[in-house]
Amino acid sequence: MSIFREYDIRGIVPGELNEESVTKIGFALAGKIDGEYVAVGYDARTHSPELFGYLAAGLNAGGKTVLAMGLVPTPVNYFANYQEFKVNAGGGEGPLEDDWVTPSASVMITGSHNPIEYNGFKITVTKAPFFGEQIYALGDEVAAMELPPKSEAKIIEIDVKARYIDYMVEQFSHLKGMKEKIVYDCGNGAAGVIVPEIFACLELDAGGLYVEPDGTFPNHHPDPSIEVNLSDVKSALEAEGDVAIAYDGDADRVVVLTRKRKINGDQMALLFSMGMNYPTVIGDVKCSQVMFDTLKARGATAVMYKTGHSNLKAKIKELDADLACEMNGHFFFNDRYFGYDDAIYATLRMLELVQAGIDLDEELDRLPRVFSTEEIQVETTEQEKFPLMAKLGEMLQHPPADFPAIREIITVDGVRVIFENGWGLVRASNTTPVLVTRFESPDLEDAKRYEKALNDLIAEARAAL
């Protein structure tokens, strides 16, 4: 049951994700989908094609026809939900049958930035994320069921990559002729099957690192939020670039770098919002207070919400917001786009700003200076993390006498404690057995003080369990 997570399904191959479990997942999922067609793609991991076969068998047994898109980035999988495909009687995409179909759901087989033994499923049903209680209920059903009988294979190959590339080239044709030199790192992930071709079609001056998909990730781990994984693209930027881009394994997260800095997710959101008129922007609870305050000062509406790509996809639709962001590099554009997280689309929106003459460093240098920690993980267990958070929340209602003065406690996701001169966050990770903390203040000593105070209270809460 541990593979059924808040945002998606994720586990180790073959110990947790194998023929039996994945076939059952496909069969159970088929019962949650109205309509016949389910679009399925996979990332560059070595076991992804094998898992595709098991999942397709389960979906077929549940009465669904699989639209197979092959190796694609996650945002291309999402894109398929907004397209029509002409299928023919021969079991393919083409002109022999006047039957246009739209997927009722999509499944992306991906381990994202996890270690190479991991894989998983990101599920979209009727253009909405399938997550939270839906996934947990699916897990209960899978745990109780027998392996379904095999049925006739119903798989139709579709070319979503070409359609996605054509769409991006059309939408961003004005980028042709950009003079700036771009360097980018696909990390041997799925971005490599899309990004080089888009850049070539737009005639951009771009040089790529590790563009060949390789699920063993021989050059570095595909997680650009970790500093060591950026060393090669930083070197390329220093040698010959004006701006650098780095993608995670399935290209739904992106990091942008200048020669001066790695631009944080909340800072990127502020840059993106410059091209929007009085937007509504959602940021996860890990985002800097500078982002929320700056947006409000510009006349925008700033909303703080839960961490997690599924949570933010649902919230942006609920509010009809223009943009949502996560600190770790997920960006969701509802302005001129479909509202899901797409690192490739975000790249092109950033290049628009550069082409328009916006100096990224100059804009960010104008922001108030604060001292912020990276995400700091506090080790715990799956069984302890939520009771520990509940105990911590209880203790914050009556903190120790020497605890820094609290102005407000925000509980949208964990506890974000607003102090007199900064804030501290503690939340339980929905994907790993850790508490995630982050601290910020205009004063370095205050940031350290808030960090120590909350860490001491976590230790007291743990001892009290």
Assign residue 401 the CATH number of its domain. Answer: 3.30.310.50
DSSP letter at 82 equals T
Query: Which residue, 319, 344, 365, sits at the end of a domain?
Result: 365
Establish if 4 belongs to a structural domain. no
Tell me the one-letter amino acid at 101: V
pLDDT, tens digit, 9 for 90 and up, residues 32-73: 999 999 999 999 999 999 999 999 999 999 999 999 999 999
Tokens of 406: 């609290």
Is 2 within a domain?
no
Same domain, 197 and 255: yes
Residue 47 annotated in active site: no
Cα distance between residue 140 and residue 138, in whole Å = 5
**Residue 112 confidence (pLDDT):** 92
212 and 352 inside one domain: yes
**What is d(CA 270, CA 291) in angstroms, rounded to the nearest whole number?**
7
| Main-chain dihedrals φ then ψ at residue 302, nearest 5 degrees | -110, 130
Is 107 among the domain residues?
yes
DSSP state of 374: -
10 is an active site residue: yes
The residues of the chain scoring below 70 in pLDDT are 89-98
User: What is the rounded distance in angstroms from the CA atom of residue 156 to the CA atom of residue 90?
Assistant: 9
Q: Which of 47, 330, 416, 449 is catalytic?
A: 330
pLDDT at 382: 87
84 exposed, middle or buried (CB, 10 Å; 0-12, 13-18, 19+)?
Answer: exposed
Q: Where are the beta strands (DSSP E) in 138-267?
A: 155-157, 182-185, 206-209, 243-247, 254-257, 262-263
Q: Which of 21, 48, 104, 112 is catalytic?
A: 112
Q: What six digits make up the tokens of 214?
A: 């390789």
Containing H/E element for 360? helix 360-365
**Residue 2: its pLDDT value, please?**
87
Assess if residue 3 is contained within a domain: no
Q: Are residues 138 and 69 in the same domain?
A: yes
Last residue of a domain, one of 158, 175, 208: 158
Last residue of a domain, one of 111, 138, 158: 158
Same domain, 132 and 177: no
CATH number of the CATH domain containing 314: 3.40.120.10
Q: Return the half-sphere exposure (C-beta side, CA atoms, 13 A cut-off) of residue 311.
A: 17
Q: Does one domain contain both 332 and 262?
A: yes
309 lies in the same domain as 245: yes
Q: Of how many residues is the chain composed?
A: 465
In a domain, 406, yes or no: yes
**Same domain as 383, residue 352:** no
Contacts of 318 (CB under 8 A, 6+ apart): none
Residue 435 has a pLDDT of 97
201, part of any domain: yes
Catalytic residue selected from 10, 253, 416, 427? 10
Whether 349 is a known active-site residue: answer no
Could you tell me if 336 and 385 lie in one domain?
no
Q: What is the pLDDT of residue 432?
A: 82
Q: What is the pLDDT of residue 431?
A: 79
C-alpha to C-alpha distance for 379 and 391, rounded to whole angstroms = 16
- Asked if 158 contacts 335 with a C-beta cutoff of 8 angstroms, the reply is no
Q: How far apart are CA 128 and CA 131, in angstroms?
A: 9
How many domains in the chain? Answer: 3
User: What pLDDT is attached to residue 90?
Assistant: 57
Q: Do 319 and 201 belong to one domain?
A: yes
**Residue 301 lies inside a defined structural domain of this protein:** yes
Per the domain annotation, does 84 fall within a domain? yes
Per-residue model confidence (pLDDT) at position 275: 85
> pLDDT of 278-317, one tens digit each?
999 999 999 999 999 999 999 999 999 999 999 999 999 9
State whether 255 and 301 are in the same domain.
Answer: yes
Predicted pLDDT at 93: 58
Longest Cα separation, the chain: 77
Instruction: Give CA–CA dist 93/102, Å, rounded.
Output: 12
Domain that holds residue 270: 163-365
306 and 441 assigned to the same domain: no
Q: Are residues 421 and 295 in the same domain?
A: no
